[in-house]
Chains A and B, each alone.
Chain A
Amino acid sequence: MPDKEILDLTRLQEAFEDDVTGIADLLDMALETGKKHRRAMEQGLASGDATAVARAAHGIKGSAGNIGANVVYRLAAELDERARTGSLDGARERADAIDAAYARVAEEVRAYRASVS
């Protein structure tokens, strides 16, 4: 059974209807975008740049939210909010948690693609 906290496709299915390939392609694209933001976030963490971390977290929040990656969305939202105040307390742990959550999203995406092709 797919875990709806990790990836809830209800909204995408409302948008794409029976275009399952379209959904799968969008999910892959969102994962790629997530990696890009994650790299930017990593640079921000390394240099102690809270603004850069917040910007990357905000990007992840938006794109993860839109595909229904709820755990990633919540973690990114927390990090966005915290980093925007200039604090990087607990940022490293949250970034790691985002990686772990994204890995589970990627598994769900692979499973979804397998189920529809």
Chain B
Amino acid sequence: MSDVLVLDDHEPNLVLYAKVLSKIAGVTTQCFTEPKAALSWAETKIPVLAVLDQQMPELSGLEFVQRLHAIPGRESVPFFMVTASDDRELRREAMNRGAIGYLTKPVDPVEFLALARNVLTADRRRRDAVKRADEHGVRTRGIEKELAIRDAALLDALFAAMRARDPRLAEHGERVAELTQRLAKRLGVAPAERALLATAVRVHDVGKLSYPDRIANGATRIDGADVALVREHVAHGRAILGESESTLLRTALIVATTHHERWDGNGYPGGLRGEAIPLNGRIVAVADAFVAMTSVRPWRAAMSPGHALATIEGARNAAYDPRVVTALRESLSEGS
């Protein structure tokens, strides 16, 4: 039910207006002979329309509407005047203050009813539109959430495939993702971006799913003709992740295709140089190298963190972005 506030200090007028308003379905008329009583009612209820007499002992109709509109949430309650005064100045003032109509007594019930009905119809349409917009917003947010879940599930599936193919490949992905997080935080990467990296970096080597069995399990040192094969994992990564509009998949694609670029431009596949390489790719390049060096391989022991850091620092400005190398050193010395 919608409340219509009606204020007139003469009760017979209220009876007449209430009778007219009763012809509109879904409307309850709240009648008041005293402005103060009407204001205290409006402290707890929001009328859809206010119908006001002008000349009353306590407050005029226009003074009343000023106070009504001053109550939070009642700023835009529409109102019209019904008054015995046909004063032109008063009529103009009322309309300038936002009145949607100015009826004079004797009231024409048909005109009164039409005016009230028009206001209520407009108000209902406005509320319906707001409701539809809200529902649309909720649906859109729901779809966005659903899409984000699906993107993450897709990367989870790829990661599970990597683990099934070679547990060490998955373990490496996890460790690189973890170190990337720490470096990215030190380099001031925004939290939302870091959240994407946490999922995306795990699959930076997804292209290695294309390795032949002979080198897949990492049991042998790669050399000779296989070096070219290894380089191809970047292209395979690009093919697997594809061109997507998804922010998460795009992040994964950028990392998968740029983490073998070098600061000096001698990397692959693009030979990009310096800041032409996306920052996420430069960070993963350092994290990838450090994790690889400090991992045991069947043909060699793991390097100590200090030794690995020294090796990477030796290639600062050559292979690696110096800022990222600094972040690695700070991270290792501070243990975070």
Interface of A toward B, CB cutoff 8 Å: 11-12, 14-16, 19, 22, 25-26, 29-30, 33, 55, 58-59, 61-63, 65-68, 73, 77, 80
Contacts and interface: CB of A to CB of B under 8 A. Distances in A.
Nearest to A30: B12
Interface residues of B, number: 21
A59 B53 CA distance: 11
B223 interface: no
B110 A29 contact: no
B326 interface: no
Interface stretch (B101-109, B158-166, B249-257, B270-278): B101-109
A68 B106 contact: yes
B19 A66 contact: no
Given A15-B19, A63-B10, 14 more contacts: A11-B106, A11-B108, A16-B19, A26-B15, A29-B11, A33-B11, A55-B55, A58-B55, A58-B85, A62-B13, A62-B53, A66-B13, A66-B105, A67-B106
Contacts of B55: 55, 58
B110 A66 contact: no
A13 B297 CA distance: 100
B13 A22 contact: no
A29 B110 CA distance: 22
B106 A73 contact: yes
B20 interface: yes
A15 B84 contact: no
7 contacts: A15-B16, A15-B20, A29-B12, A59-B9, A62-B8, A62-B84, A77-B84
Given A61-B105, A62-B10, A63-B10, A12 B110 contact: no
A22 B106 contact: no
B258 interface: no
A16 B21 CA distance: 11
Q: Which of B8, B11, B12 has the most CB of A within 10 A?
A: B12
Contacts of B106: 11, 65-68, 73
B107 A11 contact: yes
A66 B16 contact: yes
Interface of B: 8-13, 15-16, 19-20, 53, 55, 83-85, 105-110
A8 B10 CA distance: 20
A62 B105 contact: yes
A65 B16 contact: no
Contacts of B109: 11-12, 14-15
Nearest to A25: B15
Q: Which of A12, A25, A62 has the most CB of B within 10 A?
A: A62
B149 to A, nearest CB: 60
A29 B12 CA distance: 6
A63 B108 contact: no
A12 B84 contact: no
Given A15-B16, A19-B19, A65 B11 contact: no
Contact of A33 (B10, B83, B84, B108): B10
A12 B17 CA distance: 11
A26 B110 contact: no
Contacts of A22: 19
Contacts of A26: 12, 15-16, 19
Contacts of A25: 15
Which 9 A-B pairs rank lowest in CB-CB distance, beginning with the nearest? A65-B106, A62-B84, A15-B109, A30-B12, A65-B105, A62-B105, A29-B12, A61-B84, A14-B109
A41 to B, nearest CB: 14
Q: Which of A25, A61, A63, A66 has the most CB of B within 10 A?
A: A66
B262 to A, nearest CB: 88
B102 to A, nearest CB: 14
